Structure 1
């Protein structure tokens, strides 16, 4: 595959609608858009579920960049026409990054709490863009590696050609709902492009378990929970694994959220990225490996919150499947952070801020 160059410095402006503005990934995408000014200067409109959250996001932004950020309230992404007003802007939007989707692994009502928001939210915003935002050139959607993986009968190697084998019937099991929601939402997006031939093209980001620091906007919201992937690190730091390191399964791959955020921005701006899926994965991990990083970086803390070194073994499976992330490196120019740096920065932000909402 031909290596694609990253855009050269360019003073032109672009306007971006970023959905799910209080989410963990979206908050880092916002940071990346604002920090990306060497290449392009973006004005960003974020969606928030309430006026209060929108105001606090904007207030959290550095004063030098604050004029580039505004917000619009979208209370229920699954409601028909939910994004009709949000996608209309003067000047018009050039790009849309859609991250808004439930991210938790257990549900009481899989359809209402997970499948409908993911699928209807995705198709709904695409319909709104086609109907009301003709200037939009590209839409980037946050999908997930969950849309690719097929446990327990894993492929030897996963890449962008892979789709999960989960069925709609299996999605009624709350334990399978998240994986199904990501598959069917992404499938619906690609089907929309194929059947509706809209004015824009599409790229999807299929990131795996995502670690990384709490972004400035979430810290400003004063939220005290952590995103689902970071929960294991939070639990270690807070002493919840003092007696025993919890098992790692089912996922042993990770990526740093800052790499995920940059992937969204580059998938938006690199011309060749249109029409592509990107498997965004940085490497392998286990809970024991995370604990070892914390011991090295924070020995005094580790002595209080982790088991004695040597208690329990690394549960990383010897026959674990492999991943292929070449496309994200060659097309988007990603250079992935390692586990050690990602964990250290995550712990530092947990100690400083106490966490953030997904």
Structure 2
């Protein structure tokens, strides 16, 4: 039986990855920071025997040797899916809060695998479109050959660690809409973490090859047993805000125009270990474009009972008249991805939020 280690098992993407691995017959071990989270996940897979699904505790992925014990297994692991990475708004120290956990967490597990798990054939790392995007000068088309040009010096500025965008007024057709929400456009720690992973493989020549998955904003149904309305992934927070009526008076600027469904991202991780040809490649895993206005209208269509919490239909859309294109053909050709449309993602996401009290 094929055995897989998934890091960051209680994360938004990882929870769906675990579901797919179980559905497809993989023996799965996931890492969590506490027994409480591990037991909660196991309780929601009641039919999975211990040898098919279990967990190990890794309290701090940025610590030296954090994964050394987790990677030791009998029977040994065949694959590792590394999804654990920091992502939150409270930037106090860019190095301590984001760069160290992202970089050391990634290089740390690669070192542990090389030292203690010679049976591992492939490591799949969750990166981000943030490692692809060039906020200074967009190319005509983004693909896997593109890299974020951010420098370490630029990353030392907390404002750059998560590129922020703030719009105070949106004026259109003689009307003025006040907008004071600050939106996060793109985190940059994944750029350094992903580069560190590719550098490690090139210099260390380990027993495994590497795949990276690079999604943009990730929407999709939350995992109810792991999430509350106050503790959901950053991308889905804007969906929660729509459902709660926080966009009723003003739709905030979109900031980032690309989306993908979490279930597609999770499946891409699993397909990356199932398809031999995926080795050594990056994958831009993205479904298409959206705006916050488009999200609102999708909610209006899929959940008409929320009409009273939504802004006027004539509220302006901030989608730019000219924008870059994306080439996600490699993910379709090699991984066989078929992306969910936005409306389906919105319908399922809103339902999952309602299930936990939205």
Q: Same fold (TM over 0.5)?
A: yes
Task: Establish whether residue 159 from structure 1 lines up as the match of residue 143 from structure 2.
Answer: yes
Match of 2:75 in 1: 91
SS in 2 for 1:29: helix
Unmatched runs of 5 consecutive residues or more in structure 1: 1-12
Task: Establish whether residue 21 from structure 1 lines up as the match of residue 9 from structure 2.
Answer: yes
Task: Establish whether residue 352 from structure 1 lines up as the match of residue 336 from structure 2.
Answer: no
SS in 1 for 2:340: coil
User: After the TM superposition, which of the residue ranges 188-197 and 54-63 deviates more from structure 2?
Assistant: 54-63
Name the CA distance, whole Å, in 2 between partners of 1:61 and 1:329.
Answer: 30
Unmatched runs of 5 consecutive residues or more in structure 2: 163-186
1:105 is displaced (CA, Å) by 4.5
Name the CA distance, whole Å, in 1 between partners of 2:198 and 2:244.
Answer: 42
Question: What is the aligned counterpart of 2:308 among 291, 296, 304?
Answer: 304
SS in 1 for 2:225: helix
Task: Establish whether residue 104 from structure 1 lines up as the match of residue 107 from structure 2.
Answer: no
- The 4+ residue runs of structure 1 with deviation greater than 4 A are 64-67
Question: What is the aligned counterpart of 1:194 among 175, 187, 202?
Answer: 202
Task: Establish whether residue 144 from structure 1 lines up as the match of residue 128 from structure 2.
Answer: yes
Match of 1:177 in 2: 161
Match of 2:322 in 1: 319
Name the CA distance, whole Å, in 2 between partners of 1:66 and 1:89.
Answer: 14
Is this contact kept in 2: 1:106–1:175, CA < 8 A? no
Task: Establish whether residue 342 from structure 1 lines up as the match of residue 345 from structure 2.
Answer: yes
Match of 2:272 in 1: 267
Task: Establish whether residue 210 from structure 1 lines up as the match of residue 218 from structure 2.
Answer: yes
Q: Which structure exhibits the higher relative contact order, with contacts defined as CA atoms closer than 8 Å and separated by 6 or more residues?
A: 1
Question: What is the aligned counterpart of 1:328 among 308, 322, 331?
Answer: 331
1:180 is displaced (CA, Å) by 2.9
Match of 1:285 in 2: 290
SS in 1 for 2:235: coil
Match of 1:127 in 2: 111
Name the CA distance, whole Å, in 2 between partners of 1:297 and 1:222.
Answer: 22
User: For residues 221-255 of structure 1, what are the alpha-carbon distances to aligned partners after superposition, in whole Å with 9 as ceiling and x for unaligned?
Assistant: 35332210111110000111111111111x10100
Question: What is the aligned counterpart of 1:43 among 27, 37, 53?
Answer: 27
Q: TM-score, normalising length from structure 2? A: 0.90
Question: What is the aligned counterpart of 1:227 among 228, 233, 238?
Answer: 233
1:67 is displaced (CA, Å) by 5.1
1:281 is displaced (CA, Å) by 0.5
Question: What is the aligned counterpart of 2:44 among 34, 38, 60?
Answer: 60
Name the CA distance, whole Å, in 2 between partners of 1:134 and 1:42.
Answer: 19
Name the CA distance, whole Å, in 2 between partners of 1:30 and 1:101.
Answer: 17
1:62 is displaced (CA, Å) by 3.7
Match of 1:237 in 2: 243
Name the CA distance, whole Å, in 1 between partners of 2:285 and 2:233.
Answer: 18
Is this contact kept in 2: 1:105–1:175, CA < 8 A? no
Name the CA distance, whole Å, in 2 between partners of 1:66 and 1:60.
Answer: 13
SS in 2 for 1:103: coil
User: For residues 233-290 of structure 1, what are the alpha-carbon distances to aligned partners after superposition, in whole Å with 9 as ceiling and x for unaligned?
Assistant: 10000111111111111x1010000000000001111000000000000000001001
Task: Establish whether residue 257 from structure 1 lines up as the match of residue 262 from structure 2.
Answer: yes
User: After the TM superposition, which of the residue ranges 160-169 and 177-186 deviates more from structure 2?
Assistant: 177-186
User: For residues 274-317 of structure 1, what are the alpha-carbon distances to aligned partners after superposition, in whole Å with 9 as ceiling and x for unaligned?
Assistant: 0000000000000100111111111121x22111211x211111
Name the CA distance, whole Å, in 2 between partners of 1:321 and 1:65.
Answer: 47
Is this contact kept in 2: 1:105–1:177, CA < 8 A? no
Q: Give RMSD over aligned pairs.
A: 1.3
SS in 2 for 1:84: coil
Is this contact kept in 2: 1:145–1:279, CA < 8 A? yes
1:171 is displaced (CA, Å) by 0.4
